[in-house]
Amino acid sequence: SAVISQKPSRDICQRGTSLTIQCQVDSQVTMMFWYRQQPGQSLTLIATANQGSEATYESGFVIDKFPISRPNLTFSTLTVSNMSPEDSSIYLCSVERDREIAEAFFGQGTRLTVV
Amino acid sequence: SQKIEQNSEALNIQEGKTATLTCNYTNYSPAYLQWYRQDPGRGPVFLLLIRENEKEKRKERLKVTFDTTLKQSLFHITASQPADSATYLCALVPRSTGGYQKVTFGTGTKLQVIP
């Protein structure tokens, strides 16, 4: 298993500002994943972060809005930039123990409210 | 386009009864189907995985069935307890192409077990 620490657990931010979410894993992992979970909706993959390379973004998500860092094999950050109320959501980081079956471990999530 | 459907309405059952949750999908041929539990304010927790060539999988009070013809999975909790109250997500994992597997999540069904 993997233990994932994510912070902050929640925040209320003013529109136009940026928030950086941190994700720390207790073991080295190749890939880390960032998801968004909007109320009543499924988890949506934002991007995949590999150490030492640019993150790979899913359709509808761009680096300017959601820059990601992956400085080493146990840590990643996701920044939500120039926030608007539509960015209010839960953001989750995740790792997989087995690439084939994709058993995922999640952090506790960051509940973001933009006012 | 690929679509996963879970009952959006909450499922309320009496303690001791069997809870049955449904996951239907279209335009998808998954290699694996996963079930996760998510409690309020927490990230999802992996419960069970079933492979495309398996009909049924059990783990303690949990049972999952997978019908690739009907494109449906059923998730059963027998002898349900109030502690089983949570949102349950199904997720589909595609066949491996050598890279990472992009997991697609359903919206989840909220289960409430009434004492």
Q: Is A21 exposed, middle or buried (0-12, 13-18, 19+ CB in 10 A)?
A: buried
pLDDT of residue A103: 84
Whole-angstrom Cα Rg for chain B = 14
Q: Answer whether B69 touches A (CB < 8 Å).
A: no
pLDDT of residue A106: 94
Q: Answer whether B107 touches A (CB < 8 Å).
A: yes
Cβ–Cβ under 8 Å, residues A6 and A22: yes
Q: Answer whether B2 touches A (CB < 8 Å).
A: no
Q: Write B55-62 long-range contacts (CB < 8 A, 24+).
A: B62/B35
pLDDT of residue A41: 86
* Per-residue model confidence as pLDDT tens digits over A49-98: 988 888 999 999 999 999 999 999 999 999 999 999 999 999 999 998 77
Q: Which residues of B touch A107 (CB under 8 A)?
A: 43
* Per-residue model confidence as pLDDT tens digits over B38-49: 999 899 999 999
Does A48 contact B100 at a Cβ distance shorter than 8 Å?
yes
* Strands lying side by side in the sheet with B56-59: B3-6, B19-26, B72-77, B62-67, B56-59
Hey, is B84 helix, strand or coil?
A: helix
* Per-residue model confidence as pLDDT tens digits over A9-24: 999 999 999 999 999 9
* Per-residue model confidence as pLDDT tens digits over B50-107: 999 999 999 999 999 999 999 999 999 999 999 999 999 999 988 766 666 688 999 9
CA distance B30 to chain A (A): 11
Q: Answer whether B4 touches A (CB < 8 Å).
A: yes
Which among B44, B93, B107 has CB closest to A102?
A: B93
Whole-angstrom Cα Rg for chain A = 13
Q: Is A91 exposed, middle or buried (0-12, 13-18, 19+ CB in 10 A)?
A: buried
Q: Answer whether A45 touches B (CB < 8 Å).
A: yes
Helices (H) and strands (E) in chain A, counts: 0, 11
**DSSP notation for B9-50:** S-EEEETTSPEEEEEEEES---SEEEEEEE-TTS--EEEEEE
